[in-house]
Structure 1
Amino acid sequence: MILVTGATGTVGREVVRLLVARGAAVRAMTRNPANVPASLGVDIARADFDNSASLRAAVAGVESVFLLTAPASPSPHHDVALLEAAVAAGVSRVVKLSAIGTGETDDHNRTVGAWHQQAERAVHTSGAAWTVLRPSAFASNTLYWAPAIRSGSPVRNLTGNGRQGVIDPRDVAAVAVESLVSSAHAGQTYTLTGPDLLAVPDQAAQLERLLGRPVTTIDVPLDVARDEMIASGLNSSVVDVIVTGSGWARAGHNAVLTEDVPRLLGRPATSFEAWALDHLGTFAQRRSK
């Protein structure tokens, strides 16, 4: 039995789908079981990272765990809580979804992905065989641009001309599945990127070409972005994570490409263009009534 946490999110739901396609026994952990399609035929664990009893029930009889946490306020607490329950239940393998740049510092000596770094340490010392996945910026992050693009407004750009190895989250899920079903990846940390280094203006230009109409960007200084996010009511710890990561990428520190995805999947990593073509309808101009 493989437990997938975050089973209804961008990566988690694809991990569940791929595991089912391979005939694996899957348990999907979620706070909202109705969001798991019944057609998948998977076991469902209604659980919450802040409820230890629900975690114990979720890991009962499980051999491997895909560990994906997305707390409202950045903290390794959820990872640690799940790991403690998993180890007590005899789980033998953990695949942790982390993030590229974890543990590095930005130009102001602030740690990138500090809470991921703490969670990775907990995974390393858990006693279970582990694999850590550190993906670059998700292609799906651009879905947040859709309202601006549909209205003809410029896309807000916090990372300037900083290029990143933008990755299709479906590739991340595929690597996670390989790591879950094979012991060959134990003790490995994989940095997952797409095939190309792209800045936000590059992504906008590709969308412009595919849509056949202008897609523009506007640079937003990080101090301005910070003030705006705080004013909107966003938690200050979340704002710090966004600003630190964006500044790190803006400075060019995430201009990284690796061959981990093609090496592990036996095929090229999916391009941003290919991902965009599959999601083009989201960005398309709404028809006037």
Structure 2
Amino acid sequence: MILVTGASGTIGRHVVQLLRQSGQPVRAMTRARPGHAMPPGVDVVQADFEDPASLRRAVADVRAVFLLTAPATPTPDHDLALLTEARAARVGSVVKLSAIGTGERFGSATVGAWHQTAEDAVRTSDLSWTVLRPSAFASNCLHWSGAIRAGQPVSNMTGDGAQGVIDPRDIAAVAVAALTDPAHAGKTYTLTGPELLSVPDQARQLAEVIGRPVVSVDVPSTSASQQLLSSGMPPAAVEATVIGTAWARAGHNRILTEDVATVLARPPATFRDWAQRHREAFIGTP
């Protein structure tokens, strides 16, 4: 049995689907009832990272865990809680979804500090481990869909900072490889798409795909913090987001790797590939 945490989310749902397609027994962990139908044969368990008893039930009879946590306020506590129960249940291996740049110093800040703590715990957990550090998700652009359908500009917090934007399905495919093949044990993979793209680059490609203008408006770091706080984002999450976007704006995420191609024996999908699959999200009624 393989446990997938965050099984209803952007990456987790693809991991569940790919594991089932390959005939693997899968347990999908969700905090609430999944918002979409799970593939046939998936064992769905409701559990909360802050409820140790529920985590105990989730890891029972599990041999491997895909560990994805997305707390509203950045903290490694959820990773640490799951690892505690996984060790007690004698789970064999864990694949941790982290983020590109984790642990890098940027001015007086540390990029992905909470991921760094969780990565350290994974590596010293006595479980066989693999760490995945993906770049910016192509699917982040779905946040633009309402503005684009309404003919409004989209916010750009990373300026001309180019990033190796990656299709979430490629991240999931690498995760499945790591969960099912011990050859990936002890590896840290930095996962990127095949080309470096800034937000204006993505906007231009998306405009070509949907056949309507997509205009991006620069939001400097000094304004981003207030804008995010006004949206209701917790202050600690705002701080982490501003650090990450400023790091990318400064050009530190101009990174392309061959890790996806090495693991999957095929090139990663392009942003245009992703945009064409999701075209309808941007052209519907506002």
Q: TM-score, normalised by structure 2?
A: 0.98
Q: For the residues of structure 2 that align with 1:228 and 1:168, how far apart are their CA atoms?
A: 27
Residue 210 in structure 1 maps to residue 214 in structure 2: no
Q: Which moved more, 1:209-218 or 1:246-255?
A: 209-218
Letter in 2 for 1:158: M
- Cα deviations by residue, 1:84-120 (Å, 9 ceiling, x for unpaired): 00000000100000000000022x2310000000000
- Cα deviations by residue, 1:214-263 (Å, 9 ceiling, x for unpaired): 11111011111101222333211000011000000000000000000011
Letter in 2 for 1:212: G
Q: For the residues of structure 1 that align with 2:38 and 2:11, how far apart are their CA atoms?
A: 18
Task: Flag the 1:34–1:45 CA change in 2: closer, same or farther, 3 A.
Answer: same
Question: How many percent identity over aligned positions?
Answer: 59
Q: For the residues of structure 1 that align with 2:266 and 2:212, how far apart are their CA atoms?
A: 32
Aligned partners of 1:67 and 1:95 also within 8 Å: yes
Residue 116 in structure 1 maps to residue 115 in structure 2: yes
Task: Flag the 1:16–1:2 CA change in 2: closer, same or farther, 3 A.
Answer: same
Correspondence for 1:92? 92
Aligned partners of 1:17 and 1:40 also within 8 Å: no
Letter in 1 for 2:216: T
CA RMSD of aligned residues (A): 1.1
How much does 1:148 deviate?
A: 1.0
Q: For the residues of structure 2 that align with 1:285 and 1:152, how far apart are their CA atoms?
A: 11
Structure 1 moving runs of 4+ over 4 Å: none
How much does 1:32 deviate?
A: 2.0
**After the TM superposition, which residues 124-273 of structure 1 pair with which residues of structure 2 at under 5 Å, given as runs?**
124-273=123-272
Aligned partners of 2:99 and 2:132 also within 8 Å: yes
What is the aligned residue count? 286
Aligned partners of 2:4 and 2:67 also within 8 Å: yes
Aligned partners of 2:8 and 2:34 also within 8 Å: no
Residue 51 in structure 1 maps to residue 70 in structure 2: no
Letter in 2 for 1:45: V
Correspondence for 1:284? 283
Letter in 2 for 1:128: L
Letter in 2 for 1:150: R
Aligned partners of 2:195 and 2:270 also within 8 Å: yes
Correspondence for 2:101? 101
Task: Flag the 1:35–1:212 CA change in 2: closer, same or farther, 3 A.
Answer: closer
Correspondence for 1:13? 13
Q: For the residues of structure 2 that align with 1:97 and 1:51, how far apart are their CA atoms?
A: 21
Task: Flag the 1:104–1:87 CA change in 2: closer, same or farther, 3 A.
Answer: same
Aligned partners of 2:17 and 2:39 also within 8 Å: no
Task: Flag the 1:267–1:153 CA change in 2: closer, same or farther, 3 A.
Answer: same
Letter in 1 for 2:149: R
Task: Flag the 1:141–1:34 CA change in 2: closer, same or farther, 3 A.
Answer: closer
Letter in 2 for 1:214: P
How much does 1:285 deviate?
A: 4.5
How much does 1:34 deviate?
A: 4.2
Aligned with 2:78: secondary structure?
helix
Q: TM-score, normalised by structure 1?
A: 0.97
Where does structure 1 lack aligned partners over 5 or more consecutive residues? none
Where does structure 2 lack aligned partners over 5 or more consecutive residues? none
How much does 1:128 deviate?
A: 0.2
Letter in 1 for 2:235: S
